[in-house]
């Protein structure tokens, strides 16, 4: 075998994503769904697979799957089926999982996602990933390994929780694309309310199928990287795995069909088990559940079926919210902000609403407001690990501050100083802080003339440079005047006076 040149081999990535449905109860039982409750405190007889217990399908989970499918442009199967998938783990008490293998609830969807590219990372690059299917299935329990006592403990709180499994085609080529696709899906699910999408709590779990090949030739042998719990690690794991496979082939080796895990400490993927022997899951129809039927509209409901008991696609479609991609485009077109700013706004929960609330209360241009929201506000929130809803500075309070700056009552540097004080003293208004600390602009012409003359007299070299054509030095003198006035001098007036005195 002749090793391929590095540039001839490219990565191919497909994803399998398990999204925990945002529901108060489990998929087939009335047990509550909560995170971090005491082990085995949320387990019904059905969850523990006691003989004689039967599944009862949770309508909320079906509606969530239909809503997700609509948002991803899927074809919804009016009739779908449930199957048993057999495998034997300690945290799967029944010895099988109820899933949808033969006929899932939805097929043939498209996820449109965007990347920021170009030299300045401000060019929006749109890409798509095809979705093979979305299927409903129940989650397994959780195995807790105690290495000290050499034992494994089982927590069945998660057993039976409703999942949507989204199977995506191998349409991505690198970690950055895969991470962007997952992040977009996460935002879509959160906007829909069908999944909270918290990856650190296991609400969104990603498996990546990775292979490399020469373009135009059949796809190579793939490896599966399991259970990646953040988009950052997803990108790193995929890129590492692509490079690992390329190196294997360059050495004349063969990529093994195996399952691997990502070690975030070393930044490497490590083998878990091989997949050469195809596991026989012995799929069979679930005998205790009838076919799942959804209806297009109320008019199509059979006689005797109440609309409150059925899942009606048209009703769900009418309730779809504004999706992230549409929201980003609207923000750019409506307010003239940069694409990268629209990404920042949409990526932070509640930030779009905050931004638009400020705009309604101020005459300041959106492009100037966006700087305050994404730099000052978001910077403070990140620094203190706070959400937008926890901000001590409300949209009306920020709008008042910006209006005072826009009307010339305070300088930009003082505005930032006032914002800091507003952040520290929740409830204090900008006008009150400015009055109490005497932070208003110094616009007394005689006083400014005196200060400017003092600066000019004490910096003859800078004055000579300006008179010799180096106008940039004027900014230094302006800075010195602002220092003298503690940032309270009217910058327009100061510039005029300094230009007059150095001409």
Residues 223 and 341 in one domain: no
- For 286-413, strand residue ranges (E) read 292-293
Q: What is the distance, to the nearest Å, from the Cα of residue 272 to the centroid of all Cα atoms in its chain?
A: 29
Among 392, 414, 436, where does a domain finish?
A: 436
For the chain, the domain total comes to: 3
Question: How far apart, in Å, are the Cα atoms of 156 and each of 33, 42, 139?
Answer: 11, 8, 10
The average confidence (pLDDT) of the chain is 90
Say which residue, 468 or 262, is predicted with more confidence: 262
Residues 376 and 493 in one domain: no
Question: How far apart, in Å, are the Cα atoms of 113 and each of 169, 194, 200, 210, 371?
Answer: 14, 19, 22, 20, 25
Q: Measure the CA–CA gap between 225 and 10, rounded to whole angstroms.
A: 18
Q: What does the pLDDT read at residue 240?
A: 96
Residues 126 and 87 in one domain: yes
CA nearest to 480, candidates 499, 461, 498, 501 = 498
Q: What does the pLDDT read at residue 70?
A: 98
Write the CATH number for 466: 1.10.10.410
Residues 408 and 462 in one domain: no
Nearest-5° angle of CA 6, CA 9, CA 13? 130
Residue 311 lies in a domain: no
Residue 313 lies in a domain: no
Whether 121 has a pLDDT exceeding 80, the answer reads no
Residue 204 lies in a domain: yes
Whether 276 has a pLDDT exceeding 70, the answer reads no
Residue 292 lies in a domain: no
Whether 19 has a pLDDT exceeding 90, the answer reads yes
Residue 330 lies in a domain: yes
Among 410, 436, 462, where does a domain finish?
A: 436
Residue 306 lies in a domain: no
pLDDT more than 70, % of the chain: 97
Q: What does the pLDDT read at residue 275?
A: 65
Joined together, the tokens standing for residue 373 give 């929201």
Task: Pick the most confident of 86-90, 308-312, 349-353.
Answer: 349-353
Predicted confidence band at 5 (pLDDT cuts at 50, 70, 90)?
Answer: very low
Q: Measure the CA–CA gap between 317 and 294, rounded to whole angstroms.
A: 13
Residue 300 lies in a domain: no
Give the range of the structural domain holding residue 386, as residue numbers without chain letter: 324-436
Q: What is the distance, to the nearest Å, from the Cα of residue 142 to the centroid of all Cα atoms in its chain?
A: 26
Residues 280 and 361 in one domain: no
Nearest-5° angle of CA 167, CA 136, CA 132? 25
Q: What does the pLDDT read at residue 3?
A: 42
Q: What does the pLDDT read at residue 273?
A: 77
Predicted confidence band at 133 (pLDDT cuts at 50, 70, 90)?
Answer: very high
Q: What does the pLDDT read at residue 2?
A: 39
Q: In what order do the strands lie in the sheet with 10-20?
A: 75-76, 106-117, 123-138, 162-168, 10-20, 204-213, 223-228, 258-263, 268-274
Give the orientation angle of helix 473-484 with respect to helix 445-457, to 10 degrees: 120
Residues 66 and 147 in one domain: yes
Whether 472 has a pLDDT exceeding 50, the answer reads yes
Q: What does the pLDDT read at residue 465?
A: 87
Whether 444 has a pLDDT exceeding 80, the answer reads no
- pLDDT tens digits for 193-241? 999 999 988 999 999 999 999 998 999 999 999 989 899 999 999 999 9
Q: Measure the CA–CA gap between 132 and 111, rounded to whole angstroms.
A: 11
pTM for the model stands at: 0.86
Residues 451 and 426 in one domain: no
Among 390, 408, 436, where does a domain finish?
A: 436
Say which residue, 482 or 67, is predicted with more confidence: 67
Whether 247 has a pLDDT exceeding 50, the answer reads yes
Helix or strand or coil: residue 359? helix
Alpha-carbon dihedral of residues 61, 65, 71, 76, nearest 10 degrees?
-140
Residues 99 and 148 in one domain: yes
Residues 455 and 400 in one domain: no
Residue 349 lies in a domain: yes
Residues 194 and 233 in one domain: yes
Say which residue, 136 or 432, is predicted with more confidence: 136
Residues 196 and 261 in one domain: yes
Residues 200 and 73 in one domain: yes
Q: What does the pLDDT read at residue 6?
A: 47
């Amino acid at each position: 075998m002749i090793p391929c040149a590095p540039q001839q081999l490219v990565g191919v990535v497909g994803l399998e994503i398990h999204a925990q449905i945002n529901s108060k109860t489990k998929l087939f039982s009335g047990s509550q769904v909560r995170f971090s409750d005491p082990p085995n405190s949320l387990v019904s007889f059905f969850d523990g697979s006691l003989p004689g217990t039967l599944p009862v399908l949770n309508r909320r989970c079906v509606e969530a799957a239909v809503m997700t499918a609509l948002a991803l442009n899927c074809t919804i199967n009016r009739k779908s089926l449930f199957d048993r998938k057999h495998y034997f783990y300690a945290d799967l008490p029944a010895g099988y999982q109820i899933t949808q293998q033969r006929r899932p609830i939805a097929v043939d969807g498209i996820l449109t996602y965007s990347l920021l590219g170009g030299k300045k990372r401000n060019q929006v690059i749109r890409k798509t990933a095809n979705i093979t299917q979305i299927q409903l299935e129940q989650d397994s329990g959780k195995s807790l390994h105690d290495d000290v006592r050499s034992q494994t403990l089982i927590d069945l709180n998660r057993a039976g929780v409703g999942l949507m499994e989204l199977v995506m085609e191998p349409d991505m080529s690198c970690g950055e694309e895969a991470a962007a696709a997952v992040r977009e899906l996460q935002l879509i699910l959160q906007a829909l309310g069908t999944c909270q999408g918290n990856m650190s709590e296991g609400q969104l779990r990603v498996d990546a199928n990775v292979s490399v090949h020469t373009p135009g030739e059949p796809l190579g042998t793939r490896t599966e990287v399991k259970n990646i719990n953040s988009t950052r690690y997803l990108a790193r794991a995929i890129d590492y795995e692509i490079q690992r496979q390329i190196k294997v082939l360059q050495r004349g080796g063969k990529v093994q069909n195996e399952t691997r895990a990502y070690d975030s400490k070393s930044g490497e993927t490590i083998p878990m088990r091989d997949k050469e022997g195809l596991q026989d899951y012995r799929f069979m129809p679930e005998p205790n559940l009838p076919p799942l039927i959804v209806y297009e509209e109320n008019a199509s409901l059979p006689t005797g079926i109440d609309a409150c008991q059925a899942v009606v696609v048209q009703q769900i479609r009418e309730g779809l919210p504004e999706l992230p991609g549409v929201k980003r485009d609207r923000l750019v077109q409506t307010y003239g902000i940069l694409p990268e700013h629209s990404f920042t706004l949409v990526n932070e929960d509640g930030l779009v609403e905050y931004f638009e609330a400020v705009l309604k209360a101020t005459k300041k241009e959106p492009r100037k407001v966006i700087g305050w929201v994404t730099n000052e506000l978001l910077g403070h929130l990140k620094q203190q690990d706070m959400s937008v809803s926890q901000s001590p500075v409300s949209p009306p309070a920020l709008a008042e501050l910006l209006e005072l700056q826009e009307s010339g009552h305070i300088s930009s540097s003082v505005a930032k100083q006032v914002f800091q004080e507003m952040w520290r003293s929740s409830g204090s208004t900008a006008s009150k802080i400015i009055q109490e600390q005497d932070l208003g602009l110094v616009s007394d012409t005689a006083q400014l003339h005196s200060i400017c003359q003092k600066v000019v007299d004490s910096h003859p070299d800078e004055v000579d440079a300006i008179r010799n054509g180096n106008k940039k030095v004027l900014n230094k003198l302006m800075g010195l005047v602002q220092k003298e006035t503690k940032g309270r001098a009217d910058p327009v007036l100061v510039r005029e006076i300094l230009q007059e005195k150095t001409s």
